[in-house]
Chains A and B, each alone.
Chain A
Amino acid sequence: DTGVSQDPRHKITKRGQNVTFRCDPISEHNRLYWYRQTLGQGPEFLTYFQNEAQLEKSRLLSDRFSAERPKGSFSTLEIQRTEQGDSAMYLCASSLGSSNEKLFFGSGTQLSVL
């Protein structure tokens, strides 16, 4: 399968714990995006990478969130000191890199913070 893969598919954690999610984009795609989606809402932009450089981060994103994309390949999204409000589906998408290119999404990581 050469699509976007995300791991894990589901994560249940207790409030205050740290969690890390991984995304493997389509190999030739140099842009990688993280979105968050809650029930009944559309995906909300979190951050984006062009190769290994993080070029934009949502103003809504708290300092507890950090993302990396070492070597411009896979990416990780870490949430520190999780809160119940962090419960959501975290979606990763990749694209070839032109503003007219479509996004290819992974199946997401469903986070539940108890």
Chain B
Amino acid sequence: SQQGEEDPQALSIQEGENATMNCSYKTSINNLQWYRQNSGRGLVHLILIRSNEREKHSGRLRVTLDTSKKSSSLLITASRAADTASYFCATVEVYTNAGKSTFGDGTTLTVKP
């Protein structure tokens, strides 16, 4: 099974509202990353948070990481219709020598104009 699990599976909000997505994982990690994917396209990296960090910001994105609970959240503030996409968390495990990222099944976000 996948390492990360996102919650909720789908989220629908109005433009201007905030969107929060959660990710839980199973093993010890080096870092956790969030990616975005528009329908039929490849994934685009959004933000990386290392295991010794608790919070990180990038523009309208805020990511938190709680290694004791093995969970992370992605907050998108003041959402726009263009934020409509699927969002995936990906983890790099401590004991992998490949830097291989393991992805969850994603949250599909719909932002209504």
A residues neighboring B (CB under 8 Å): 4, 31, 33, 35, 40-45, 48, 50, 55-56, 91, 93, 95, 97-108, 110
Q: Quick one: given A55-B98, A91-B43, A108-B42, are A99 and B103 in contact (CB under 8 Å)?
A: no
A42 & B92 in contact (Cβ 8 Å cutoff): no
A42 & B48 in contact (Cβ 8 Å cutoff): no
Q: Does B105 make an interface contact (CB < 8 A)?
A: yes
B residues neighboring A (CB under 8 Å): 2, 4, 30-31, 33, 35, 40-45, 48, 50, 88, 90, 92, 96-106
8 additional A-B residue pairs with CB within 8 Å, beyond A99-B99, A100-B31, A108-B40: A4-B42, A33-B101, A41-B105, A48-B100, A98-B99, A101-B99, A103-B90, A104-B45
A99 & B92 in contact (Cβ 8 Å cutoff): yes
A114 to B12, CA, bound (A): 34
Identify the closest chain B residue to A35 (Cβ). Answer: B103
A4 to B90, CA, bound (A): 19
Chain B residues lying within 8 Å of A97, measured Cβ to Cβ, are 99
A37 to B53, CA, bound (A): 30
Chain A residues lying within 8 Å of B103, measured Cβ to Cβ, are 35, 42-44
A33 to B35, CA, bound (A): 16
Q: Which of B2, B40, B100, B106 contacts A33 (CB 8 A)?
A: B100
Chain B residues lying within 8 Å of A95, measured Cβ to Cβ, are 99
Identify the closest chain A residue to B103 (Cβ). Answer: A42
Identify the closest chain B residue to A105 (Cβ). Answer: B42
Chain A residues lying within 8 Å of B4, measured Cβ to Cβ, are 42
A105 to B88, CA, bound (A): 13
B50 & A100 in contact (Cβ 8 Å cutoff): yes
5 contacts between A and B (CB under 8 A): A4-B42, A33-B101, A42-B4, A43-B43, A100-B48
Chain A residues lying within 8 Å of B90, measured Cβ to Cβ, are 42, 103
Q: Which of B33, B41, B99, B104 contacts A42 (CB 8 A)?
A: B104
A42 & B31 in contact (Cβ 8 Å cutoff): no
Identify the closest chain A residue to B30 (Cβ). Answer: A99
A107 & B99 in contact (Cβ 8 Å cutoff): no
